[in-house]
Amino acid sequence: MPTRPIWAEVSLPTLIHNYHLIRDFVAPHATVCAVVKCNAYGHGAVPCARALEAEGVSWFGVTSADEGIELRQAAVTGRILLMSGIARGEAEVAVAHNLTPAVWSAEQISEVNSAAQKLQRNAFPVHIEVDTGMARQGVSAAALGLLLEAARRARSICVEGLHSHLASAEVVDADDVEVQLAAYQRALEQLAAAELRPACLHLANSAAIVARKASWHRLGPSTVLVRPGISLYGYYLPFLTQAGQASETEEPRVKPVLAWKTRILDFRDIEPGQGVGYNLTFVATRPTRIATLSVGYGDGLSRALSNRGQVLIRGEFAPIVGKVSMDVTTVDVTQIPGVQIGDEVVLIGEQNGRRITAADVAGQTQTIAYETLCHISQRVPRRYLP
């Protein structure tokens, strides 16, 4: 039983609320594949997947076979897509656990086919990932023909899906998205010419669901999946134009699922001229009351928040002063009356009508909410609110 006063609260009802909003937004044109990779963006893959499956989610997206096996061992029975494919030697374990791999090379197809033959699994499904322009993973247009020949020769697999990923879905007028959508359609035509008609098509992440409906609406007669990730957990990237201007969108009004909290450990009263923390980067200019908090960069609180970030205590904002240490952080509580050792401190979440979001923290550290959430370390216990 963890005793250190730091924890993250994960609201499963809010997760389900967000799923319902997204599901209804794309229905009846698409089916939700809930992305729970990277430990459900720091929220806990197993509890989140179980809650979502109980609400009818039938597809889950993970990074690797290890993440898929974790779900299987937790009795998640839905389809599990290995979005980053399989590494050499992983095919057999993927087939054994009924994990659906993305493939983009003849070598991967051969390995999956051999594993399916060994385990007597006929027509084992794979999803071909095509590189439509992001140049990260997936088969290139030039190599797709050879890949399809390999797939047709592999008697123990079936090409169930064709998918890709959009590089700039949150940029509402990005030209490269149109180029990618056209490249995806050409790949579909190439599969049809090879007499391969995948039953499952998918392109859209959280941003594309909102800003690029062509990536899932009227995509084809096959089953269309959408792959919401960050939106399930309550966030979107900012929707912008190519000129960098904010763009109004009609996205499902999702809510943050996670709150991150700690408590005050101790106080120090310091005089003008006295410094705080490593290298004394904060120096008091007036009599100052400093509270020490049980959180540091070892828990995932970015060191970039040193002398920049803030927390909520008794419903008031308290600035971080001095450098964030590995295990503790100091804040200025001079202007907050009545603070005591043991008071709850909100790092992400709401308190008395005020709020700090993961997006707020990300803005202060020049990153994105994805990274802020994923960086909350495993030594921070998750408490699941039913």
Q: What is the CATH number of the domain that holds 302?
A: 2.40.37.10
Whole-number Å distance between alpha carbons of 49 and 37: 10
Query: Phi-psi region for residue 370, left (φ > 0), alpha (ψ -120 to 50) or beta?
Result: alpha
pLDDT the model gives residue 221 = 82
Listed residues 177, 199, 233: the one ending a domain: 233
The reply to whether 77 falls in a domain is: yes
**Is residue 74 one of the residues assigned to a domain?**
yes
Q: Which pLDDT value is given to residue 275?
A: 98
Under DSSP, the state recorded for 130 is B
Give the CATH number, domain containing residue 137.
3.20.20.10
Q: Total structural domains in the chain?
A: 2
Cβ(64)–Cβ(38) under 8 Å? no
Number of DSSP helices (H) and strands (E) in the chain, helices first: 11, 19
Residues 214 and 66 in one domain: yes
Residues 27 and 95 in one domain: yes
pLDDT for the residue 175? 96
Residue 245, in any domain of the structure: no
Q: Flag whether 302 is in a domain.
A: yes
Looking at the fold, whether 155 and 263 belong to one and the same domain comes out as no
Tell me how far apart the alpha carbons of residues 156 and 79 are, in angstroms, rounded to a whole number.
19
Tokens of 250: 């009609």
Same domain, 287 and 185: no
Q: Are 285 and 184 part of one and the same domain?
A: no
Is 167 found in the same domain as 76? Answer: yes
Decide if 79 is inside a domain. Answer: yes
Q: Clarify whether residues 74 and 153 are in a common domain.
A: yes
130 and 265, same structural domain? no
In a domain, 365, yes or no: no
Query: Which residues carry out catalysis?
Result: 37, 278
Q: Are residues 227 and 282 in the same domain?
A: no
Q: Do the bridges between strand 316-319 and strand 310-313 make them parallel or antiparallel, or are there none, so unpaired?
A: antiparallel
Is 21 in the same domain as 109? yes
- Within a domain: 364: no
Low-confidence ranges of the chain (pLDDT < 70): none
Whether the bond into 221 is cis, omega within 30 of 0? no
pLDDT recorded at residue 11? 98
Helix H or strand E segment including 160: strand 157-163
If asked whether residues 317 and 221 sit together in one domain, one would say: no
Nearest CA to 380 out of 261, 233, 246 is that of 261
If 0-12 CB within 10 Å is exposed, 13-18 middle and 19+ buried, where does residue 140 land?
Answer: middle
Q: Are residues 224 and 269 in the same domain?
A: no
Residue 87 lies in a domain: yes
pTM of the model: 0.96
pLDDT of residue 214: 94
Q: Residue 380, SS3?
A: coil
- Give, for 8, the enclosing helix (H) or strand (E): strand 6-11
CA angle, corner 334, sides to 329 and 337, nearest 5?
110
Residue matched to tokens 């043991």? 342
Domain that holds residue 331: 258-356
What does the alpha-carbon distance between residue 159 and residue 151 come to, in Å, rounded to a whole number? 7
